[in-house]
Amino acid sequence: MRSANPALDVTPSASRLTNSLRDIGYTFTSAIADLVDNSISAGASRVDIDICFEGENSYVLIADDGSGMTDRDLTEALRFGSRREYAEDELGRYGLGLKTASLSQCKRVTVVTRQAPVRRRISTRTLDLEHIIDTDRWELTEVPDDTKAYRAFEWLDHSPGTVVVWENLDRILPAGRAEGGGARRRMDSLGTRLGDHLGAVFHRFIEGSAAGGETLAITVNGKKVPAWNPFAPDEEHTRSLTERQFEVWAGDEVGTVAFSPTVLPARSLFSSMGEFERMSGPGKWNRQQGLYIYRADRLIQSGGWCGIRAIDEHTKLARAALDFPPSLDEMFRINVAKMRVALPAEIRPLLEPHVTELCHRAQDMYRRDLREGASASDSDRESISRDAAEIGGAILSAALATSTTPALAKIIGHLRDENPGVVESLGW
Ligand SMILES: Nc1ncnc2c1ncn2[C@@H]1O[C@H](COP(=O)(O)OP(=O)(O)OP(=O)(O)O)[C@@H](O)[C@H]1O
Ligand SMILES: [Mg+2]
């Protein structure tokens, strides 16, 4: 008998949905970081990444020495929305990363894995976007003959582990631009950027200070990735302030959020200029001030004050770690690519007084540099002169809008005699 209100099947179109999932927000570096998460969850102590340029046949290989997978695990791992339970502090959450991160960068991903420690039993599967589009079905395919995944067999010859191979790198080397020096340089620069990114995101794992205590070695194109710890713990004049812990309830879940503030040394107190420059980080000192938000020891957000206060030259030495456990994922609104979190409204007022105190202390440290006559670093000077040129431009547009350019011309003429440096800085 037909029910009065029959449920209608609206199974998504495999081809359209898979294609849309490619644009979920990964970059090359964050996609690889998502695979390193999987390696860490599998207990790896080593992850080697090779970015191999061979024109249209270029490929990326991510190999770990983790616990590997059985044949059945591997099939499940390649399902969008893998079915499994997660431990409390695990990095995975959605059952999507392996697929979405990989297909955000390439059209064909092959996974080669071995779990048995003694028997050399290796399983292999391929997820090919072109097959999904052609058939409109979520199916795995045989490993293609022209794959570079055979390299993975060497890696798994003696012990367990997993190797992920990306081929048809259409997002990294778009069709028609995959050959030649420009394409090679693009691949080379990805390697450099990747090392910097992984060194920061996984610095606690590389240093061995993450909860498990084991250390992780990561290499990119054979080069060991050094940890980039934003708090310069090895500098003599780094000042760690008192850590604060807040217990937070999110529905039935309770979790502890830890706030660990640090004042970094003023430029003149750093052990060397090289170290001062290295610690400035990818965004340079000003933009790297603020909160470093960690989920289960993995860095998700690197600097910025999440709206608590504005970036300010005078507080550039203030950095604070904010740690939250996966039980508070929903509250922090972590995204699938694990690139973004939102500071929960409940936590903001708890942090504010401690952030203010940290910034006062950081200003004192900053003034020390000024007292000791140290000038701004090259990068700071660059950003200050950019700001000045912007101000100059804004004043010029305001003069135009208010028909006062003749008056401004007089002012500029006067300044040119009295204070030519100012005229130059303002870009006039
Ligand atoms: N390198 C690996 N070693 C062993 N098992 C792996 C590896 N990579 C993936 N897996 C298995 O495949 C499953 C699916 O991985 P995937 O990254 O797609 O999702 P997830 O890690 O569970 O969650 P998230 O979407 O948050 O990353 C994992 O849960 C794990 O069981
Ligand atoms: Mg994952």
Q: Does residue 7 belong to any structural domain of this protein? A: no
Q: Assess whether 316 and 291 both reside in one domain.
A: yes
pLDDT at residue 2 greater than cutoff 60: no
- Interval between CA 224 and ligand 1 midpoint (Å): 24
As for how many domains the chain has, the answer is 3
User: Measured from the CB, is residue 178 less than 6 Å from ligand 1?
Assistant: no
Is 387 in the same domain as 346? Answer: no
Say whether pLDDT at 378 is over 60: no
> Within 13 Å, how many C-alpha atoms sit on residue 241's CB side?
23
Q: Say if ligand 1 is within 6 A of residue 69 CB.
A: yes
Is ligand 1 within 6 A of the CB of residue 303?
no
pLDDT at res. 114: 98
Q: Give, in order, the Cα–Cα distances in Å from 372 to each of 44, 267, 359, 369.
A: 47, 10, 20, 5
Exposure string for 353-385, b = 16+ CB within 10 A, e = fewer: ebbeebbebbbebbebbeeeeeeebeebeebee
233 belongs to a structural domain: no
* 383 domain residue, yes or no: yes
Q: Choose one of 198, 224, 250: the last residue of a domain.
A: 224
306 & 335 share domain: yes
Give the pLDDT of residue 373: 58
Q: Which residue's C-alpha comes closest to atom 21 of ligand 1?
A: 92
- pLDDT tens, 345-361? 999 999 999 999 999 99
Could you tell me the distance, in angstroms and rounded to a whole number, from the CA of residue 15 to the centre of ligand 1? Answer: 22
CB 376 within 8 A of CB 384: yes
* Assigned domain for 1 exists: no
Q: Give yes or no: residues 30 and 166 share one domain.
A: yes
Q: Is the per-residue pLDDT at 271 higher than 60?
A: yes
40 ligand 1 Cβ < 6 A? no
Q: Would you call 249 exposed, middle or buried from its count of C-beta atoms within 10 A (0-12, 13-18, 19+)?
A: exposed
C-beta of 46 in contact with ligand 1 (< 6 A): no
Residue 230 resides in a domain: no
Mean predicted confidence (pLDDT) in 5-34: 91
Q: Which ligand has the minimum distance to the alpha carbon of residue 162?
A: 1
Smallest-distance ligand from the CA of 40:
1
Check residue 388 and give its pLDDT: 73
How many other C-beta atoms can be found within 10 angstroms of the C-beta atom of residue 201? 25
Same domain, 50 and 173: yes
Whole-angstrom Cα distance, residue 246 to residue 274?
37
Task: List the domain range (segments joined by +) for residue 310.
Answer: 239-371
Looking at the fold, whether 362 and 320 belong to one and the same domain comes out as yes
Is the same domain home to 366 and 382? no
In the predicted structure, residue 289 carries a pLDDT above the cut 80:
yes
CA of 95 from ligand 2 middle (Å) equals 6
**One domain for residues 182 and 328:** no
What number is the average pLDDT over the span 32-58? 97
pLDDT of the residue at 386: 62
Ligand 1 contact via 66 beta carbon (within 6 Å): yes
Report if residue 36 sits inside a domain: yes
Q: The tokens of 418 are what?
A: 């009295």
Task: Return the H-helix or E-strand segment holding 247.
Answer: strand 244-250
